[in-house]
Structure 1
Amino acid sequence: MKTNPEHTNALIHETSPYLLQHAHNPVNWYAWKPEVLLEAKKENKLLLISIGYAACHWCHVMETECFEDEEVAAVMNRHFVNIKIDREERPDIDHIYMDALQMMTGSGGWPLNIVALPDGRPFWGATYVRKTDWTKVLEQLATLYSTDKTKVLEYAAQMEEGLHSINIIPAPEREGSLSQNDLKSAVKNWSQYFDTYLGGYKRAPKFMMPVNLNFLLHFTSLFKDSETNEYVHTTLRRIAYGGIYDHLGGGFSRYAVDTKWHVPHFEKMLYDNAQMISLYAKAYASNKNPLYKRVVEESIVFVNRELKCANGGYYASLDADSTNEQGHLKEGAYYVWTEKELTEILQEDFPLFRDYYNINSYGHWEEDFYVLIRDHADEEIAQKHNLKTSDFISRLKKCKKALLSKRELRARPGLDDKILTSWNALMIKALAEAYRYLGEQEYLDQATEALTFIENSIMKGDGSLFHNHKEGKSSIEGFLEDYANLIAAYLEIYELSFEESWAKKAKQLSDYCVLHFWDKKSGLFYFTSDTEEITVRRSFETTDNVIPASNSVMALNLYKLALLYPEGKYGELAERMLQQMKESILEHPNSHAHWMHFALFQVFPFKEVVITGESALEYAKVIASEYLPNTLFAGAVKEGGLSLLKGRIKHDKTLIYICQNGACQLPVATAEEALASL
């Protein structure tokens, strides 16, 4: 934030760090509010809607080149009502205008710039635009609106029709449910895009896509598909070796600009790190690779060090840019090293560090800078330097500690310190899963601490949710992604603690969603509540993006709730949702991976593991630490009111029941016996 600024606009009253970054632009920015749209209609002035987020590099570039320029601002202020939107605060608005941009140009991205009629209907869009082109096109659009308004209205009407048509969920044409063969065929068709050598897809940039990898890990465990399993673990190893992973501080950047996962786009997002922690924890459970365990542990340390706030919640992101030694904002400046710096800091340990992290042509980025990247196992580098592996790792830890201490003296990347319910829910679930598979009690404690924060600060008295929180304020109504991911977190923590209050809260939130988000016609859930005003359309989110599609998360939640509360209609709703989506799943498996993750519950046996008695939690901890994706855990130490527990609690012994669709086998008395039948 500038001191003694020359300009101040309406964004100064907002809490979003991204909006506050623009509060002293000469552009007369407003936040998205009903009264602003009303004023635009009164003045018959076009809307210029610019959407971005705090960690977006090109958003910063366009601000510097265009929005801080007096001449550009004069053009914008003269012709438009200018609205700035933080896409992370308003994913509902972002969905609509991103669809519009993709319809108009065939591509998308941020900054997302839209020109719309005063009522919000779009008719022009672009991403990053250079200053000279920006002013030229804005003048042309303003002239077109004043001289040929009919043409603009016609095109806006066509766009509106298109936006509604792509949001229609057609009834399924194919009879029957999804089968194992359907899913095998979908993965086979999808696999032609897999990069089996470097992991990810055969292209750059490379995104980690944890939603996809989570499904494929689940898929390979059930189908015993060794080829796909090898691809998944190649991808996980390459990501963990790559520069996209922060080898000194832990945690993941958003994506890599090259094919070998080397040079990242350096912003670090809570949602990426939460999902990658979950994924690596599950992968560790599946094959006990110590690399995966280390990634989980280091990434949790990173999130707690850099993104955790004092009240137990988690902030949104760290910026890609920071100030370099010359005092200029530079992407990645906080994370990269010169060979000279490394030699001076590490001294006699530099040769082994150089070989391990490729301070050579393979690890070179630009100018004199290197991004750390591995391509060999610990044992290979230790052998090269005639060291025991344990001694090598000890020296490497010393190197990393020295470099991290030095790095912390640098100017830090900007922190987006807003708290988002959906992303916090992903982190809560990640911590719970890390506890499940690694066994560290502190992870479960951190998860419940964050849940308590949400209940105290973001949940309203009627049980509904806000989407955002900062400095004691929450202002935006919750979206389906907030409810769905929080329900999933509640269910995960119930399975690990057997405290029925968590399951009950999941049920209450689900009932709220059915009441306020569900669409009877399609059988799916809208992204926004029926308590909110509609802009252009009320959207469905059915395809995965950087986080799983909220409808797919909701379907999986309802499936699990049906097992805990069979008296409700949750199972019918979940089944209908999957039926509604089956053709889209098979046509586009890469963007429906979380739906397929749920489908695996349907096409393979799904087991309920019911554990009761004094040692229920100890037995559950042993059994649940194995990778058993097609299971639900329920239990009680003393008393329990859930249907699965009725008649199965014996106070003098601990019993384990393996059930399917509510019908249970005879109980066994040890975790080993239970695992043998799972």
Structure 2
Amino acid sequence: MTDWNGLMIAGLSAYYSVTKRRDILEILVNYLSFFKDHLLKGDGSIFHLYIDNQAKVDGFLDDYAFSIFGFIEVFESTMKSEFLEMAKSLLDVSIVKFWSDDENAFYFTSNDKCETAINTLEFFDGAVPSGNSVMFYVLNKFYLYSGITDYFEKAERLEKTFAKFADSNPSAYNFFNFGLQKKFSHNFEVVIVYPDENDDEFKKYKEFFEGKYFPNGTVIFFNPNYNNKLSNFLFWNDYKLVQDKATAYLCSNFSCSPPFTNFELFVKEFERKINAK
């Protein structure tokens, strides 16, 4: 099932980010290949399940939302651009297929596939989160990546829709509250641009950040030579190497510090910033 696999790879990516186990990375990479070969249609839409060597049933909102979430998490733990490219493609397709301007939310069934008079809207987070809760999270995430206002505006409208329910019973909307906490507590992005993995300064940054979890920020390692498939919409595409060695940028709200080419100076400023919050 596409939706459950999306949640599974999100969990595996968190495990990989701490352990760096090669077998886990292999599972994540192989799943993306399987997804493209068997679940992805030519028009960018996806199937709900794959059984008996056959993909069946058009995807529902949860299939898109959970897959986008999973691919984002894999990207952030591996920096493999193909996962982010797939996540963005699915996000754009899901907006066309499921978003309702009247409801300010996403329908569960695609607008062009619903055969009943009423299409359902799901908000409650039970054993698994609702598709709308996860879409709220990923819309805010892609806005941070890109600054594209359409993502921000839809997230804002979805937040107002959730407010009608979550205020009276917040424990029933746990993943939405998680996304809300991420939105308001996010205060930095670190972009490390590096020439290759043999660069001495890059190794220092990698060792410093590896295995650490920063709930209020995002750390991006970007190699312009090998990550050239990253779409031009990403904000860090504008940041360059200085003196052909690993260069760090400390950013907040799409505004970045002057580049750091000295690891020790960067760490001093980074720790000052996160300890000040």
TM-score bracket, shorter-length normalisation? 0.7 to 0.9
Question: Is contact 1:484–1:553 with CA below 8 Å preserved after alignment?
Answer: yes
Q: CA 1:439 to 1:649, structure 2 compared with 1: closer, same or farther past 3 Å?
A: same
2:220 is the counterpart of 1:628? no
2:218 is the counterpart of 1:637? no
Question: Is contact 1:638–1:651 with CA below 8 Å preserved after alignment?
Answer: no
Measure how far apart 1:456 and its partner are.
0.8
Which residue of 1 is the match for residue 175 of structure 2? 594
Give, in whole Å, the separation in 2 of the partners of 1:662 and 1:617. Answer: 26
Secondary structure of 1:474's counterpart equals strand
Q: State TM-score, norm by structure 2.
A: 0.85
Measure how far apart 1:562 and its partner are.
1.2
Measure how far apart 1:603 and its partner are.
2.6
Give, in whole Å, the separation in 1 of the partners of 2:68 and 2:135. Answer: 8
Measure how far apart 1:514 and its partner are.
0.9
- Calculate percent identity across the aligned residue pairs: 27
Measure how far apart 1:567 and its partner are.
3.5
Question: Is contact 2:133–2:176 with CA below 8 Å preserved after alignment?
Answer: yes
- After TM superposition, the structure 1 = structure 2 runs for residues 53-452 of structure 1, keeping only pairs within 5 Å, are 420-452=1-33
Question: Is contact 2:32–2:83 with CA below 8 Å preserved after alignment?
Answer: no
Match of 1:633, as an amino acid? V
**Equivalent of 1:664 in 244, 250, 256:** 256
Give, in whole Å, the separation in 1 of the partners of 2:178 and 2:203. Answer: 27
Give, in whole Å, the separation in 2 of the partners of 1:445 and 1:622. Answer: 24
- After TM superposition, the structure 1 = structure 2 runs for residues 5-16 of structure 1, keeping only pairs within 5 Å, are none
Give, in whole Å, the separation in 2 of the partners of 1:600 and 1:540. Answer: 23
Question: Is contact 1:428–1:451 with CA below 8 Å preserved after alignment?
Answer: no
Question: Is contact 2:17–2:78 with CA below 8 Å preserved after alignment?
Answer: no
Secondary structure of 1:625's counterpart equals coil
Give, in whole Å, the separation in 2 of the partners of 1:588 and 1:552. Answer: 15
Which residue of 2 is the match for residue 532 of structure 1? 113
Measure how far apart 1:524 and its partner are.
0.7
Secondary structure of 1:610's counterpart equals strand
Which residue of 1 is the match for residue 137 of structure 2? 556
Secondary structure of 2:105's counterpart equals coil
Measure how far apart 1:582 and its partner are.
2.0
Give, in whole Å, the separation in 2 of the partners of 1:559 and 1:623. Answer: 23
Secondary structure of 1:467's counterpart equals strand
Give, in whole Å, the separation in 2 of the partners of 1:655 and 1:546. Answer: 43
Give, in whole Å, the separation in 1 of the partners of 2:52 and 2:168. Answer: 45
Which residue of 2 is the match for residue 496 of structure 1? 77
Give, in whole Å, the separation in 2 of the partners of 1:434 and 1:633. Answer: 17
Question: Is contact 1:497–1:617 with CA below 8 Å preserved after alignment?
Answer: no
Q: State TM-score, norm by structure 1.
A: 0.36
Measure how far apart 1:473 and its partner are.
1.1
Measure how far apart 1:553 and its partner are.
0.6
Question: Is contact 1:496–1:621 with CA below 8 Å preserved after alignment?
Answer: no
Measure how far apart 1:502 and its partner are.
2.3
Give, in whole Å, the separation in 2 of the partners of 1:638 and 1:654. Answer: 11
Which residue of 2 is the match for residue 476 of structure 1? 57
Question: Is contact 1:439–1:621 with CA below 8 Å preserved after alignment?
Answer: no
**Equivalent of 2:189 in 608, 617, 623:** 608
Question: Is contact 1:425–1:485 with CA below 8 Å preserved after alignment?
Answer: yes
Secondary structure of 2:101's counterpart equals coil
Task: Count matched residues.
Answer: 259
Measure how far apart 1:609 and its partner are.
1.7
Match of 1:463, as an amino acid? G
Q: CA 1:589 to 1:624, structure 2 compared with 1: closer, same or farther past 3 Å?
A: farther
**Equivalent of 2:103 in 522, 536, 549:** 522
- Cα deviation code 1:436-491 (max 9, x no counterpart): 12232322221121121111111111111100111211221101111011111221
Measure how far apart 1:536 and its partner are.
5.7
**Equivalent of 2:162 in 563, 581, 585:** 581
Match of 2:218, as an amino acid? L
Match of 2:183, as an amino acid? Q
Q: CA 1:513 to 1:620, structure 2 compared with 1: closer, same or farther past 3 Å?
A: farther
Higher relative contact order (CA 8 A, sep 6+): 2
Q: CA 1:520 to 1:591, structure 2 compared with 1: closer, same or farther past 3 Å?
A: same
Whichever of the two has the greater Rg, that structure is 1
Q: CA 1:621 to 1:468, structure 2 compared with 1: closer, same or farther past 3 Å?
A: farther
Which residue of 2 is the match for residue 368 of structure 1? none
Secondary structure of 2:221's counterpart equals strand
Measure how far apart 1:650 and its partner are.
3.5
- Cα deviation code 1:561-600 (max 9, x no counterpart): 1122224511111122112212422211111111111111
Measure how far apart 1:534 and its partner are.
2.7
Give, in whole Å, the separation in 2 of the partners of 1:542 and 1:531. Answer: 21
Which residue of 1 is the match for residue 242 of structure 2? 650
Q: CA 1:502 to 1:673, structure 2 compared with 1: closer, same or farther past 3 Å?
A: farther
Measure how far apart 1:620 and its partner are.
4.8
Match of 1:657, as an amino acid? Y
Q: CA 1:622 to 1:470, structure 2 compared with 1: closer, same or farther past 3 Å?
A: farther
Secondary structure of 1:587's counterpart equals coil
- After TM superposition, the structure 1 = structure 2 runs for residues 24-39 of structure 1, keeping only pairs within 5 Å, are none
Q: CA 1:674 to 1:595, structure 2 compared with 1: closer, same or farther past 3 Å?
A: farther
Q: CA 1:618 to 1:441, structure 2 compared with 1: closer, same or farther past 3 Å?
A: farther
For structure 2, list consecutive stretches of 5 or more residues without a partner in the other structure.
Answer: none
Match of 2:3, as an amino acid? S
Match of 2:162, as an amino acid? M
Give, in whole Å, the separation in 1 of the partners of 2:221 and 2:243. Answer: 13
- Cα deviation code 1:533-564 (max 9, x no counterpart): 33363111111011111111111111111122
Q: CA 1:649 to 1:549, structure 2 compared with 1: closer, same or farther past 3 Å?
A: farther
Measure how far apart 1:675 and its partner are.
5.4
Q: CA 1:596 to 1:455, structure 2 compared with 1: closer, same or farther past 3 Å?
A: same
Cα RMSD (Å): 2.3
Give, in whole Å, the separation in 2 of the partners of 1:621 and 1:483. Answer: 34
Q: CA 1:458 to 1:427, structure 2 compared with 1: closer, same or farther past 3 Å?
A: same
